[in-house]
Each structure stands twice: as structure tokens, then as C-alpha cells.
Amino acid sequence: MPESRCERCLELEQAHDQAMEEYIGLVDRQSRLFRQGGGREARDLDGAIYHLKARRDAAIIALRRHQAAHWQLDSRVPHAGVPLLGIPELDDDHAALGHIIRELALLGENNASISLVANAAMRLAEATRKHFIGEEEEMMRAEYPHVALHRESHRELAAFVEGLSEQLRGGLIAPDVEVIAALRERDVSHINTSDREYAEYALTRRAGPARSF
């Protein structure tokens, strides 16, 4: 499903591109000065570089917040490609997780600062833990017979997400195409197997026994 691209989207993208271009240009200039022996003149650029870096990060935040408004208009079918199960509380949680993954992808595409990446990665791990806890509580209330097996699949997926989150927060890896693809693959696979099995059970239970006439 294509992402919304309104005039405001284009304005924010242009603002980000300009800030990024100016930031890279000034960093390149400082590097040349250091190589040419102009250490003092190069260090005098630190303040301007810091300012441009902050402006670049602010442009990324403004862009992703605006795009999030588009995503919220269609939260049932998130752009991360999360499948629907027909249970609103689960679909909403999965959509929220998908949006954070999409946010990480956007940060990776724009070479965002490690602080922005770390914030999103931390929120993804925390949202994943909270979702799993809530889902397992719902399974217990529904007397789902395979809750122990499902809980184990949650432990494995939570460990995977937490491991990636720690590496992202530490700057050991970046939210590049491969990392985002791995997150989406594990997320969608879990939803399409373990979660779908529970959804079928829950929906049948909610419908109640078939009526005979």
C-alpha cells in the first residue's frame, strides 16, 4: 500500500534534505581543514556543526510525526504490512508495533542520530513486552489450551527483539534494510502462525455454539 504524500510531506522532506546537505557539507569542510593542518579553524566549526545536526534531527522528527498522522488514519492496515486477525485489540497492538518498525526504517533511511534510533528501539522492545503480557492474560481468560506453547513463542520473539534493540541502542548495528526486514519477517510470521491459531479459537469461542433450528 503506497504511503501518503501530501504537500506537507514534500515540504518536510525538502526541509530534511536541505538540513542534511548543509550538515554533510560543513562536516566535509571541517575534515578538509583538519587534513590541511587548520585545526583551530576546524574546531571553530564545532558549534555550527552541532546546530546543523540538531536541525537535521528535528527535521526527521517533524517528518515522521507528520507521516504517523497518515498511518493513524488507516491503523487497521498498517504500512508495515501486518496481517489482520479480526480481533480489534490484537490488530491495534500489531499495528502499533508495525508503526514503530516503520519509524525505525525511516530513521535508517535518513541516517538519523543514534539517540533517535535508540529511543525508537527502546519503545519497540517495551511495546513488544507489554503486548505479549496483555495477550497472554487474554489467552488465560479465554482458557486457550495452547497458552503455554504460545508463551514460549513469545519468549523467543521477545529475546530476538530485545537483542536487536540492545544492538541498535548501542550503535552496534543500524536500522538498515536487512535489520528491518528481519524484524518484519519475525513479526509477520508470528502473527500468521501462533497468533492466527489463537484468533481462530477466540473468534469461535466468542461466536458461541451453532444454533439448531
CATH of the domain at 147: 1.20.120.50
**Is the pTM for the entire model greater than 0.75?**
no
Residue in 194, 193, 1, 187 with CA at minimum distance from that of residue 97: 187
| Per-residue pLDDT, 157 | 95
In the predicted model, residues of the chain with pLDDT beneath 70 are: 1-6, 65-83, 207-213
| Per-residue pLDDT, 132 | 96
Does one domain contain both 178 and 83? yes
Last residue of a domain, one of 73, 103, 123: 73
What is the C-alpha to C-alpha distance for residues 103 and 202, in angstroms, rounded to an integer?
31
Does one domain contain both 120 and 194? yes
Last residue of a domain, one of 30, 58, 73: 73
Say if CB 93 and CB 135 are below 8 A apart.
yes
Say if CB 128 and CB 158 are below 8 A apart.
yes
- What residue numbers bound the domain in which 190 lies? 77-213
Does one domain contain both 67 and 101? no
| Per-residue pLDDT, 200 | 93
Number of domains in the chain: 2
Does one domain contain both 57 and 84? no
DSSP calls for 107-130: HHHTT--HHHHHHHHHHHHHHHHH
| Per-residue pLDDT, 197 | 94
